[in-house]
Every structure is written in C-alpha cells, then in structure tokens.
Amino acid sequence: MAKTASFGVMHLGIAFTVSYMLTGSVAISGAITIVEPLCNTVAHYFFDKYWGHPPLVAQVRQWRDNLLRPLRRSSVPV
C-alpha cells in the first residue's frame, strides 16, 4: 500500500510540474493535476469492465481480421 500511495504522490507531483512548465499558471496546473487522475479513474473503470469480455474480444478480432484481410490476400513477396 505504501508503494501505491507513494506512486500516486509522485504522479501528482509530475503532473503538476509538467503542466506548470507548459502553462506557467498555478491554477491551471492545479486543475490539470486533479482532473487528469479523475479521467484516468473513469477510463480504468471501463477498461476493467470490458477487459476480456468475450463478446467484445470477438468483435475486436473480427474488426482486426477484416482490416488485415486485404493485406493477407496481396501477393507481395516478403
């Protein structure tokens, strides 16, 4: 737990530093430092929810196969 907490603090420090260097504004940097982890938390929720979800995995495989089918048919020597 200590490692996770220290990583979180480090992440916030880096986010604030980088955003401050880019904007020069403490207010904007503070907002970015708070909003970015919240967005990541929401994205991670959906990522975990659909990770390994059989219908989604099947759909992704179908899209991939459809995209790669023309490349597989080409007779370009490798």
Q: 56 CB contacts (<8 Å, ≥6 apart)?
A: 50
| pLDDT surpasses 70 at 71 | yes
In a domain, 76, yes or no: no
The string of pLDDT tens digits covering residues 14-33 is 999 999 999 999 999 999 99
Residue range 56-64: mean pLDDT, rounded: 86
In a domain, 33, yes or no: yes
In a domain, 42, yes or no: no
Domain count, the chain: 1
| pLDDT surpasses 80 at 72 | no
In a domain, 78, yes or no: no
Please report, rounded to a whole number, the percentage of residues in the chain having pLDDT higher than 70.
Answer: 94
State the average pLDDT for the chain: 87
In a domain, 53, yes or no: yes
Range of the domain at 30: 2-37+47-71
In a domain, 61, yes or no: yes
| pLDDT surpasses 80 at 76 | no
